[in-house]
Chain A
Amino acid sequence: MSLPANHLLCIALLLMVVPAAACASPVTRSLSTAEPGAGEVFTVSLSIEGMTLGGVVETLPAGYAFVATDLADDRVLARGQQVAFAVMNDSRITYQVRAPASGSGDITGRWEDFLGESDGQVAASHVAADGIEAPVESGGGDPVPPPSQETGSPFAVLAAVAALLLASGRGGRR
């Protein structure tokens, strides 16, 4: 079974656009500096709006290391290049990151609003040690893709199925 390229494009667009349109991100990130010095500790701030109970998982570029946060220890979990924060009525969470001797990359993030039953991505923030774009020196943990199965957006599932059926139906009439 194969689908024409334009149909695949249609499906891909639906999968990308529908979840993004369904919910605006309640989490935005800012950095004290996007060009930290080698080994410098810089601050990442997450501004959170309208999320009572939820979570944010940040993924740091390889070589960058999580140092500390202003949240209580029992609300933070660090594993490899990733840090999870349990959000509880917070409007702002800050954490510190140590830059490597050299290397650049994106800090990426995912958020979930448990009460609002929505989720999405935090826009990526680019960092480069000493402002120099350079490949990372050592590999970090690969970010785990967002949960699928029940965690998949029903909009995305329905959109994909609808697109497939549409594509299938159109193909059949030819």
Chain B
Amino acid sequence: MNRRCLLALALLLIVAAQASAAPGDGIPGDADGDRVLTPAEYTAAALTYLDAAYMGGAGELTRTDIQDAAWISACWDGRPREVTDSSGRTVTLYRPLRRVVTFNGEALETLRSLGFDMEKVVAVDKYSKEKSTFFPECREKANVGSIWSPDMEKVLAVRPDAVFLYATISTAACDDIQRKLEASSPGIRVFRFDCFKPATYPREIRTIASMAGKSERGDEFASFYTSTMDRVRDGTAGVPADERVRVYFEYWFDYKTVAAGSGYNEKLELAGGMNPFAGETAEYPIIDPEAVIVTDPEVVVKLAGQGLAFGGYAGHDIAALEGIRTALAQRPGWTSIAAVEDNRIYVIHSDILGGAQHFIGTAYLAKWFYPDRFADLDPHAIHQRYLTGFQGIDFDLASEGTFVYP
């Protein structure tokens, strides 16, 4: 065996040894086993650890044990944390999260909003990994694929203590992943959150914050989020149903729109829009081009993103979004519709309307639909504050990315 092989073997042994301590149930240092780490028990545990680590004493607490005990004492008041996720399932945590895998990019983003130590995210879904501008710290993390094509071997190889999956979308795929994980490694805690739905996001923020020991930050972020959404709701509350702005919302693909049940329709209606195609059977129906002209929308909103790959965090390409808008206005028969006559065609990128950032896009919609009611609403400033104050990324909207036009 040559020197390189020996060194590689040594490295593997080091990594394996460092990773071998799998935490079980019970709080480390809870001497009487009553599931509460009292200050006295914590102090005794700290001294026992220091004695064993530095003074030649006996004791079985590892460095990870005492770090976890300190964390639980400081963040969870010495008690295990019961977490009820968005699937309604309750899981009890006896240790802080140390090795997290996310299949849900929105949950990953929420963890970062909460100031979670991203070093403790050991693997992410392939889409988050591809978003290297927005998640630069994920470039080197393991890729566990997607919920539809998960790399279960990779998941198990990174030895997670927690895995985040979606709660209410793609439930069959997520249920399958959860079953496999729980069958192969009962120590893995599976959490189901969506993190993109206005109805549940504030509660999810606080729940995840509580798990991460970031309750104060969770309150701050939830207030920031809620203040924007409440501003939109309050601003449109007084608009009678028959006076709501008629909006044609077009998905990435031509004449593919949204209907009731889709997330985009929910945000459109939150912003006070009236979707003439809300009653279609499919969530994302393809409609007859003539139908758009017949409904005579007052506002047209076109979605850019994955299927119409311009703008977003990855590209500062205003001309591309402008081109999309121009092409819409030139569609056959559209010159007579109100939105074109009044120059109320807008392009928005799914980065700020479809995921955890939906509150930013919703603010834009509200401002477009009711410019007088939302004259003081500044979605651009909200967006920048989110990036700088909560995401903690160095991204200047003045010179980077393109999210709306005009």
Question: Which residues of A pack against B, CB within 8 Å?
Answer: 1, 52-55, 57, 74-77, 79-80, 82, 84, 86, 88, 110, 112, 114-115, 117, 141, 143-144, 146-147, 149-151, 154, 157, 161, 164-165, 168-169, 172
Contact = CB atoms under 8 A, between A and B. Distances in A.
Enumerate the 8 nearest inter-chain pairs by beta-carbon distance, A residue then B residue, closest first: A114-B70, A84-B50, A53-B70, A147-B53, A86-B46, A57-B54, A151-B63, A77-B47
B104 interface: no
Contacts of B71: 114-115
B63 A53 contact: no
B330 interface: no
Given A55-B50, A74-B40, A144 B64 contact: no
Main secondary structure of the interface of B (DSSP, over half): helix
Given A150-B17, A165-B7, A79 B55 contact: yes
Contacts of A117: 67
Nearest to A114: B70
A55 B10 contact: no
Contacts of B14: 157, 161
A108 B19 CA distance: 31
Interface residues of B, number: 35
B63 A150 contact: yes
B55 A57 contact: yes
B49 interface: yes
B18 A161 contact: no
B3 interface: yes
B43 A144 contact: no
Main secondary structure of the interface of A (DSSP, over half): mixed
A79 B3 contact: no
A150 B21 contact: yes
Nearest to B117: A117
A24 B51 CA distance: 24
Interface-centre pick from A84, A141, A144 (highest chain B CB count, 10 A): A84
Contacts of A143: 54
A57 B43 CA distance: 14
A79 B51 CA distance: 8
A53 B3 CA distance: 42
B53 A146 contact: yes
Contacts of B54: 57, 82, 84, 110, 143-144, 146-147
Interface-centre pick from A80, A82, A172 (highest chain B CB count, 10 A): A82
B18 A150 contact: yes
A115 to B, nearest CB: 5
Contacts of A1: 3, 6
Contact of B74 (A52, A149, A157): A52
B11 interface: yes
A141 B56 contact: yes
A174 to B, nearest CB: 13
Contact of B70 (A57, A115, A150, A168): A115
B43 A84 contact: no
Contacts of A54: 70
Interface string B244-265: 0000000000000000000000
B291 to A, nearest CB: 60
A146 B55 CA distance: 9
Nearest to B64: A150
A57 B3 contact: no
A150 B16 CA distance: 10
A84 B3 contact: no
Contact of B49 (A55, A154, A168): A55
A79 B50 CA distance: 11
Contact of A86 (B10, B21, B50, B56): B50
B74 A53 contact: yes
Nearest to A56: B50
Contacts of A88: 39, 43
B102 interface: no
Given A74-B43, A164-B7, A150 B62 contact: yes
B158 to A, nearest CB: 16
A112 to B, nearest CB: 8
Contacts of B57: 79
B44 interface: yes
B179 interface: no
B73 interface: yes
Nearest to B56: A144
A114 to B, nearest CB: 4
Contacts of A57: 50, 54-55
Contacts of A149: 17-18
Interface string B57-72: 1000011101101110
Contacts of A150: 17-18, 21, 62-64
A86 B44 CA distance: 9
Nearest to A82: B55
Contacts of B44: 74
Nearest to B49: A55
A165 B10 CA distance: 11
Contacts of A76: 47
Nearest to A161: B11
A55 B63 contact: no
29 contacts: A52-B70, A53-B74, A57-B50, A57-B55, A74-B40, A79-B57, A82-B55, A88-B39, A114-B46, A114-B67, A114-B69, A114-B70, A115-B67, A115-B71, A143-B54, A144-B54, A144-B55, A144-B56, A146-B53, A147-B53, A149-B17, A150-B17, A150-B18, A151-B62, A161-B14, A165-B4, A168-B3, A168-B4, A168-B7
